[in-house]
Structure 1
């Protein structure tokens, strides 16, 4: 029921924006058209090596604060514990969004038109993360190093809303300038589980200093369950051109090429971690760094004008987000591509 209420709110928001756009339409110019749309988009965000957070590492870091305080209380201010040299490998399936919505096109004059498009859809994806790091424990001037390995597997639910405002200025019958702005908002809910494995050099050092002869050369293993929620929002500005190739009988092919500059602000997430054996829980707010990105936004399509009021169009669109700043590298882009189908009705 909550999902229907949430979807209804988004639909009303988009409908309100469309209403504002319609108010700009000059009554004496060509007809306004409404286009119900269906699209299917592939997104590789879950597959990106640098996109997943090491959930286990975050839980370990929060537990280290308590361990560090205990060490200093027992062995003095020189005692401490830290984790570094973290390496992370993440993976998952490429997610596919089945999205539905509509476009409204409003002519400004005989050469210029504005189009507002809103699409909404949801999907699920698998997430796998493997991380390794080094723990350093210092007591009584002696430092012991341990290797920590964290393995996490989970299922993520993604709900996506795309809103795009574009403008097209026709220069000739076969070429036009295009540009606009786009907002992509994705809500994420991750449910995961996994385990830590660690050597016990630090624990054995404490046992030796405490006079405990029961040293353990084996590995320490602990399991955990985790949930995480967050929202990712990308803001984009785009500009470029479109070329058309009419072939008669209402048929036309076109290609659209633009460049975009996009901004992903810092992303806040809520993480809850439960250790199975002990029942200990960690709940924290984490932050993923923001980034600037840029890249091509390209589409190829086909349109068919059936009569003065009715038309069909199909296109395939690909958008590439190459990071310019932030934690990700330019060799790890986000790629968003898929098809879009529409039926235009002139009012």
Structure 2
């Protein structure tokens, strides 16, 4: 047996690490895994209207009330929603877990579970302009809301993979993956605004004009958020591997995955200057279907007949084909993974 064949035979013992297609000489292989992954979910912006994409709507109710109160039939109140823009860093996760691999010399099954936490800081800026027009007179009111929030994210990854050996250098595989992100955030809100329109509306309708001396009862200066995102994936592909000395095997794993992220709720509680909750808002985000590649490249180092270590880089890309985001606004998970495998 030449050196390449010997390396393949020994590497097969640790099929959980490299998903190799050579014959396996153990029924069960176990080992711990650590990883550091990045997730850009919080950077996706195609569901936000950029500040340059202003949307104008007529405030019918206020317009009619002011027309009735003033007698000016040509009075018009319009709202220009300049949308929102966000700035943030992708979330980094230090993850820990384990893998179990079992089967025979042709079909192997691998189960991997990993858990980790990460955090990021997000800045969101929103802008709105309200204008009152009557005859040839117009005046407006501008509001700019800036929110700076820290988000803490807990992540759980579960994977099950089936692999079938084709020959000494190739295998086919398929499997399922579940990912859960529990996201909680807290941040400060800064509001800069004029009040010309509100004062005019209040005075015209005989209501109390807004005061610049805020008592905190109805003015939020902080927010607390909570949401959970889950992703279910099915995937299939091939693995190729090549030994480059007696103790090392390089491998490439290329798969195509299809994923579904169910609809989710984004809860936001606004806190006033007095520390009490002003109101709660619940945003419903649509479910998302996506497709994309799942690619891993790395190397396995054989330490002994019963022990091996592998290092890999993995990237998973989710291109949306339905939901709130455009196809080009993909979600990307990528990072490095280190595992130790022990034959029982």
> 1:102 is matched with which residue: 98, 106, 109?
98
- Per-residue CA distance 1:8-45 (angstroms, 9 max, x = gap): xxxxxxxxxxxxxxxxxxxx983200021000101112
Rounded Cα–Cα distance in structure 1 between residues aligned with 2:281 and 2:201: 29
Which aligned runs of 4 or more in structure 1 are off by greater than 2 angstroms?
28-31, 46-54, 78-86, 133-139, 142-148, 195-202, 207-212, 275-280, 305-308
CA displacement at 1:331 relative to structure 2:
2.3
In structure 1, C-alpha distance between the alignment counterparts of 2:274 and 2:252, rounded to whole Å: 58
Identify which range, 313-322 or 283-292, moves more after superposition: 283-292
Does structure 1 residue 303 correspond to structure 2 residue 300?
Answer: yes
Q: SS at 1:329's partner residue? A: coil
Query: Out of 258, 272, 284, which is 2:281 matched to?
Result: 284
Counterpart of 1:234 in structure 2 is 231
Task: Give the TM-score taking structure 2 as reference length.
Answer: 0.76
Cα shift at 1:262:
1.0
| 2:111 equivalent to 1:122 | no
Of residues 28, 38, 51, the one that matches 1:42 is 38
Check whether the contact 2:121–2:150 (CA below 8 A) recurs between aligned residues. yes
**Match runs of 1:268-347 below 5 Å:** 268-276=265-273, 281-347=278-344
Pick one of 176, 192, 195 that aligns with 2:190.
Answer: 195
C-alpha distance 144-116 of structure 1, shift in aligned 2 (>3 A): farther
Whether contact under 8 Å (2:317, 2:333) holds in the other structure is yes
1:156 maps to which of 145, 151, 154: 151
Residues 1:175 and 2:170 aligned together: yes
Alignment partner of 2:87 out of 91, 116, 121: 91
Q: Give the structure with higher Rg (CA).
A: 2
Secondary structure of 1:147's counterpart equals strand
Give the unaligned 5+ runs of structure 1.
Answer: 1-27, 55-63
Give, in whole Å, the separation in 2 of the partners of 1:215 and 1:185. 44
Secondary structure of 1:253's partner?
strand
* CA distance in 1 between partners of 2:237 and 2:226 (Å): 36
Matched, 1:224 2:224: no
Partners of 2:284 and 2:155 lie apart in 1 by 20
More helix by share: 1
TM-score normalised to structure 1 length? 0.75
CA distance in 2: counterparts of 1:271 and 1:242, whole angstroms = 44
Higher relative contact order (CA 8 A, sep 6+): 2
Task: Note closer, same or farther for the CA distance 1:270–1:215 as it changes in structure 2 (3 Å cut).
Answer: closer
Q: Equivalents in 2 of 1:143, 1:166: separation in Å?
A: 65
Counting matched residue pairs gives: 297
The question of whether the paired residues in 1 share the 8 Å contact of 2:49 and 2:82 is answered with no
In structure 2, the partner of 1:4 is none
